[in-house]
């Protein structure tokens, strides 16, 4: 059985939406309570059984490499002070069975180009792609949900969620035939269409499971000068030859590439963090009252609803 052991993290973006905070620090290192965004993405991959993390970086991203490196000074200091819990927290950043690789994207030529930069390390095996901007909150990690389906279908898969049609310019949008509550067979993918041109209200979320043939399709793309190499264009090209599925995620997405989404994630995760939730929840209730807003009851009660019983998976179809 083919297993997905490798995950690619495109982290070379400049993060201009968060300037000046990202002028000298990678946007992927922005913290949500006490962990950076990139760590949430890596933890999701680890929970799904991935053991090789490939970071596609750019200039000014050294902090990401340092974060996943061993810090002897900090660990020795924590040991000396008897801070066992903090020491364990630091050591969990990169589990012993996980390897990290770093490759440079020499030019900012788009998501497709970033994925292509990882080809030599990925090799000829299926792999995942995770965008740290999309912080996904789910009882079962979203990548684990996808890999369960991958074990059944053995084909490329794109994560999607229901979106408002007027928001289509912010997403890749798929045209797909529904199989069940979560699975769709894709027929088309359109990058950031106008609302009237959007083929559906299924917007792409930053999680992919891709067969290595995607690299062939990426290399065939010939964008116009100044244009980016889009991963969605390569996926559209794949659809001519083989089946690609869309998986509607069971969980909640926070768009941490936007200030509003980032702040929403900060509040939600703070309200369940054992160290700060009580004090922060009390402050937030008081603050909402000061603003004249409606009460929310117990603000700590923010755990996502458990997923419904899994729907039996339909049998794979052969590509037309």
Query: With the C-alpha atoms ordered 173, 174, 175, 177, is the resulting torsion angle positive or negative?
Result: negative
CA-atom Rg of the chain in angstroms? 20
Model confidence pLDDT, tens digit, residues 234-290: 999 999 999 999 999 999 999 999 999 999 999 999 999 999 999 999 999 988 887
pLDDT of residue 180: 85
Domain boundaries, the chain: 6-159+203-222+247-270
Residue 8: CB partners within 8 Å, gap ≥ 6? 54, 56, 114, 115, 118, 122, 127, 128, 129, 130
Q: In this structure, which topology does domain 6-159+203-222+247-270 adopt according to CATH? A: Spore Coat Polysaccharide Biosynthesis Protein SpsA; Chain A (3.90.550)
Q: Running along the chain, 320 residues long, what does each successive block of 10 average in pLDDT?
A: 91 88 91 96 97 94 92 88 89 92 92 96 97 96 96 94 90 88 92 89 95 95 79 94 94 95 96 94 88 54 48 56
pLDDT of 314 reads: 60
Q: What is the pLDDT of residue 305?
A: 47
Joined tokens for residue 26: 């990678």
Q: Are 191 and 163 in contact (CB under 8 A)?
A: no
pTM above threshold 0.85: yes
213-242 CB burial, b ≥16 within 10 A, e <16? bbbebbeebeeeeeebbbbbbbbbbbbeee
């Amino acid at each position: 059985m083919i297993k997905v052991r490798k995950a690619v993290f495109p982290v070379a973006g400049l993060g201009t939406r968060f300037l000046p905070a990202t002028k000298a620090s990678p946007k992927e290192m922005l913290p949500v309570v006490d962990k950076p965004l990139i760590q949430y993405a890596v933890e999701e991959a680890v929970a799904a059984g991935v053991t090789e993390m490939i970071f596609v970086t750019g200039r000014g991203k050294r902090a990401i490499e340092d974060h996943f490196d061993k810090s002897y000074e900090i660990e020795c200091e924590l040991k000396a002070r008897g801070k066992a819990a903090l020491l364990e927290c630091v050591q969990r950043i990169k589990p012993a069975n996980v390897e990290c690789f770093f490759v440079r994207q020499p030019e900012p030529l788009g998501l497709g180009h970033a994925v292509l930069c990882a080809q030599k390390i990925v090799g000829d095996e299926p792999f995942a792609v995770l965008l740290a901007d999309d912080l996904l909150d789910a009882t079962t990690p979203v990548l684990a949900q996808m890999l369960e389906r991958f074990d059944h279908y053995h084909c490329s898969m794109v994560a999607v969620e229901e979106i408002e049609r007027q928001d289509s310019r912010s997403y890749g949008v798929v045209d797909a035939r529904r199989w069940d509550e979560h699975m769709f067979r894709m027929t088309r993918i359109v990058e950031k269409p106008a609302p009237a041109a959007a083929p559906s209200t299924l917007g792409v979320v930053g999680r992919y499971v891709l067969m290595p043939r995607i690299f062939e399709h990426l290399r065939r793309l010939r964008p116009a000068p100044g244009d980016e190499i889009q991963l969605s264009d390569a996926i559209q090209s794949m659809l001519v030859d083989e089946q690609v599925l869309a998986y509607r995620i069971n969980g909640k997405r926070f768009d941490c590439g936007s200030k509003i989404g980032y702040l929403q994630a900060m509040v939600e995760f703070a309200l369940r963090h054992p160290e700060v939730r009580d004090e922060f929840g009390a402050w937030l209730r008081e603050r909402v009252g000061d603003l004249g807003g409606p009460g929310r009851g117990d603000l700590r009660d923010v755990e996502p609803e458990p997923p419904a019983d899994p729907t039996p998976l339909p049998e794979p179809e052969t590509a037309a």
